[in-house]
Amino acid sequence: MSSAISPASTNDPGRAGGGMSRSGLSLPFDPIMAIAVLGICACSLVTLYSVRVPGVPDGFYFQRQAGYFVVGAILAVLISRVDYSRLREVKWGLYGFMILTLLAVMALGSVARGSRRAIQLPFLSFQASELGKIVIVIVLAAFVVDRARRLGDRDTVARTMLVALFPAALVMLQPDLGSALVYVAIVLTVLFVAGVPGKHFAALITLGVVAVALVLFAAPKAGVEVLQPYQVERLTAFLDPSGDPDDAGYQQNQSRIAIGSGEKLGRRDAATQTRDNFLPENQTDFIFATLAERYGFVGGAILLSFYALLMWRTLRALTLAKNLFGAICAGGILAMLLFQVFVNVGMNVGIMPITGIPLPLMSYGGSSVITTFVAVGLLLSIHAQGRAATASKGRVLGYS
């Protein structure tokens, strides 16, 4: 398997965009990606405006989410004007910051429903695991680029996996299985985009299957619980949600009822599943079901179309990247976004287990929203500098 971009380009330490950074405001912009992001944000606000949760003032989630979108959009614009290649120079500083924040959450975070995942701040519930998603993309991309001429070595693959699995293990201890799985999806995609030989992927898949068997079957029989009992129930309940409709299968049953009752055009104010709070977490984990009940198949299709547009532009940024570091960053972000969309929508419709993974830019939550906007800003930077570098070589690209 060969890399999409020659490792020879890794000799460029990121200064190819140095000239462009001085005239950053003239860098090309990707309006199609912006339309996709704004469309998803609009879907989120329209849905959250109708959410009613006992004990929470009407409009609370809508107002907070709108504020998060404003902050996130400002960050995305600022990051899009920066030479992303400079992030290679601070990779270990970013990695250390990520580890420290994860440890801080474990020590100082507030406990909610048996998990210690966030530190409560005045206007934000800070989840280090969310911020870690984009940090691990940058760190892994920089690490792989530094070892680009040794991608065929088992040592490179092993070290790359360790760099990702250490913070993933800290996230698992919170416990936050969903975010830990996102880290795994990111590192596998980074290795794939970098061009790691297929035999190494076969070995990783084999090890993964063995690890899952040990966690779900062997370890419990030996009296060792790697996962919490409720996590095991969630991972297995989706196979037969009707088998325990009042407990482990309750959320998925209510979610499927909500989606099915929405039919083609939705029930609007007659959406009883979410209006009367039959469906828990309808502002976060199950916001897709909330949208589908109120606005039907058409509403769900529009939202998924915006996600498809965002994924396409992410792939476009990957192919336009001026160097290997940019291509791998775009690939890691693609994995982060696509995995979360697939798993969240899948658990809403009953084909994936409930893991608590948010729907990017749709689910309510400051940490998730801001992290996704940071990722979008990085993608815009990769796209803009890739187009500028290509144009400087005498080729003109459109936005197609």
> Is 357:178 a contact under the CB 8 Å cutoff?
yes
Q: What are phi and psi for residue 71, nearest 5 degrees?
A: -60, -45
Estimate to the nearest angstrom the gap between the alpha carbon of 387 and the chain centroid.
25
State the angle between helix axes of 60-80 and 366-392 in degrees (0 to 180), rounded to the nearest 10: 30
Q: Is the pLDDT of residue 259 over 70?
A: yes
DSSP 3-state of 356: coil
pLDDT in tens, 305-334: 999 999 999 999 999 999 999 999 999 999
Q: Which of 28-37, 95-104, 136-145, 385-394 has the lowest mean pLDDT?
A: 385-394
Q: Is the pLDDT of residue 350 over 90?
A: no
**How many angstroms separate the CA atoms of 118 and 368, rounded?**
12
The alpha-carbon radius of gyration of the chain (Å, integer) is 21
**How many angstroms separate the CA atoms of 397 and 28, rounded?**
10
DSSP 3-state of 341: helix
Q: Is the pLDDT of residue 341 over 50?
A: yes
> Is 241:352 a contact under the CB 8 Å cutoff?
no
**How many angstroms separate the CA atoms of 57 and 207, rounded?**
48
Q: Considering the entire predicted model, what is its pTM?
A: 0.86
> Tokens representing 24?
């950053």
> Is 349:256 a contact under the CB 8 Å cutoff?
yes
Question: Tokens 């095991």 label which residue?
Answer: 232
Return all residues near 252 (Cβ < 8 A) that are at least 6 apart: 237, 238, 241, 347, 350, 354
How sure is the predictor about 233, in pLDDT bands with cuts at 50, 70 and 90? low
Question: Tokens 């360790």 label which residue?
Answer: 162
**How many angstroms separate the CA atoms of 326 and 193, rounded?**
11
Among positive and negative, which fits the CA dihedral 143, 146, 152, 153?
negative
Q: Parallel, antiparallel, or unpaired: how do β-strands 115-120 and 110-112 relate?
A: antiparallel
How sure is the predictor about 122, in pLDDT bands with cuts at 50, 70 and 90? confident
